[in-house]
Structure 1
Amino acid sequence: MPDRHPPGPKGVPLLGNLPGLGRGMVEFMMETATHGDVASFTIGPTRNYLLSHPDHIHDVLVLRRDKFTKDPHDLRTLGRWMGKGLLTSDGEHHRRQRRLVQPAFRHRRMAGYGEIAVDATQRLIEGWRPGDVRDMHHEMMKLTLNVVSRSMFGSGVPDEEAYKVQRAVAGLQDIAIQISKFGMLVSPWLLLPLHQLLKRGTRVLDEAVMRIIAERRASGEDHGDLLSMFLLAQDEVDGGGMTDQQVRDEAVTIFVAGQETTANGLTWAWYLLSQHPEVAEKLGAELDEVLGGRPPTAEDLPRLRYTGMVFKEALRFCPPAWTLNKRTPVEDVELGGYRLRRGSGIFIMPYVMHHHERYFPDPFRFDPERFAPEREADIPRYAFMPFGGGERICVGAGFAEMEAKLILATLAQRFRFTLAPGQRVALKPLVTLAPKYGLRLRVADRSS
């Protein structure tokens, strides 16, 4: 096959498309996608490709997954403090860990996690009053951190120990974001202070988590939480379990994946509902009919059909997992009529796919009816992927969806929201897609 590059945006000498990326990665990738299903761009001397056809994404994530690996730089940066959990591992280790972790998210455990989500939400809003202005991004981050902490450690860990883990994870995430952000722009030695902070923060995290694991393993008790499930897990293939280090790595991964993505998904849902009162009204009507004023439970979710449609459309409109980890071909591969060279970068962007007019007509219109069952069936598998895809699809996707829908139902049952005066709304695409300026909303009773 001739060695020709797909079309793409023009770059500048030496830097390639780095200046365009620096002006806004979401905007740059959306423009790049207009050049074709396989489009190319460069970052310095490295050739990169953006895939925006479901068949090509399926090829990379499923059919020929062994020919692609996660980007080594991403794995190194995250792996230094997250270890070798599901987010940062590859190959057979990843497959074995997935077999061990999956039972923790099976149906018989989910109802208990749902009760935690509803209880935590009710506690959060005890002091809310009509007329209050709340930063919903801050509130949702606080709420989901509480939910994931209680789901992970249950009642078997003192609050101060759980808070120590929470603070350490939040701090390390901030440092890792800075390292990733500046890694392509400055000399590695300039990042040494950040790497030292990462090392110290990891030591604090390890001490806290390993102490909790040692105490729980010594007790041998099943507290019905995620930590108990990780400690009790046995691989169906080799019969072995997890070492303390593997339990630590998966616990940290759950904190990272289970808090921020859900919080951001809910934050964008509240913003979109504040801008579309007719959708909020229909959502409230469903909650009144199904719940009749009582708190929701996991068993109610099949009947909360429109609630699920609203959340899915929010995930489409502003997907928290807006980009997947960059892939790198381990050998030259052919894709879409082009030769993709070994060592190049492969980008798969859920945000781009979720706003592709071919799959979502009028993509910047908020329309939960897209996910009515008869219409959702027509959406190609890899056109909508809020939790990733292939063998690396988020193992806790069911947990996250249940948690978010129950939180959405609990809050929307009582309140409606309007955007606070002067609140600016813009995307902040880092590890997840957050609101750049927070999200201040005014609280009102639904009955008023």
Structure 2
Amino acid sequence: MSTGGEMFFQLFLPVVVSLQLLPAVPSSWSCGISAVDMVTGSVLISTNAETPFRPASTVKAVTTLTALSTLGPSHVYHTTIQVDTLQNRIFLVGSGAPLLSIEDVTRAAMETAAALPPGTDWSLYLDPTALTGDSHLPGWDAADWNRTYCPPVEPLCIGDNILEIVVSSVSGVIRTFTYPPLPDLRLTEQVTTTNTRTSLVVTGGNWETGEPEMTISGTIQNGDIEVLYKPFAGAPGELARVLQEELEEWGVNCTYTGVQQADTGLYTTAVMYSDPLWIILGSMNKWSRNIVAEQVLRTVANNVTGESGSTRAGCDISGALLDSLVPGAQGWQLADGSGLSRLDLLTPEQLVAVFVSGAGSLEFGPEFLASFPVNGTDGTLSGRMRELPAGAFRGKTGSLNDTCTIAGILTTHSGRTVALAIFLQFPRGQIWRARAWQDEYIQGLYYTM
């Protein structure tokens, strides 16, 4: 039935639910909802549950389950420095590790310098062959490439491949500072001081050449300090050049020569260890870090196939997992591991099955659940559903400019545990209204189930 342009969906609930506690869905929106009792497996809600929608960042839940199923929660990335003493070659060998830091490279350079004989000239090579693929994926809006949530996917990364830029006009002198240090960064400054408000813009990236080029333009108020963040291109080469500089600081004469696959059986002088996978997934899900999701998905492909890990192969592996969870689902597809692609299509039923499988795993259930944000507490849910007790809902959010999704585990007022997914698509400009609707709906379920 509909009232005042709003319509109620028929909800199939084997419990008594007061419809007054469940908000109406605006008639201009498309909505899909699925909910399953985690204990009995009973379907509690099924509204367009088999219809594909754009899932946005809830795709990361699929990537999480795929990674834990194939790699295990304790998987650790090993980024190595390997040495060929016969031909005086040093190799920086990537493993697909997300979030490598400059501090990791500094320590590895010290350990390598200690292992090498002094007074020798070395050639430094980069081996990125663990992963392969484009830096920006099909369905990623090119207008987003210069935004912090859309950094390039690379076989070796420096943090999130995001450059921090600090512009200062303290004492009337314009100064610019950047981190992490990028040896080949070309930063063009077109900034002037003003007595009015600060207005700065950073553009660039040069994704075609893979070189870190940026331009800062605009005005900065006298005495002001402005901090900006932008994705940069060419992280693998920059990481190799940072290693070269660090080795030279420790007395090793070396020249970065380019890309070359390392031979087998070389001597490993240093290993850069990542955090365990379950911690990486927590960082990925709680703060919806797209680059981490893409690195993890390609790592899955590398480990499963034994070949350079690609997004396509990773999506095939995730797709096989989805087929095993919901046989016969129609019309869905995966184009990436983060959900940033507008080509991704999943059904609410599939997302619910992912959470039922992940949370119920005897092997990694606690790690799966711990990776997701908690209502009113942290991550992308820190400001949402604060009316509910902290921990009542744990799950993944997602949004594009016309899409709002949420999926996770709800523990209701009566103690019932429910796996839930809500997909909304709507005219652009209504994202905040959609989030509020989802929160109100989940709060209604909390009290009625």
Question: What TM-score do the two structures reach when normalised by structure 1?
Answer: 0.24
How does the TM-score come out when normalised to structure 2?
A: 0.24
The structure whose Rg is larger is 2
Q: Which has the higher helix share?
A: 1
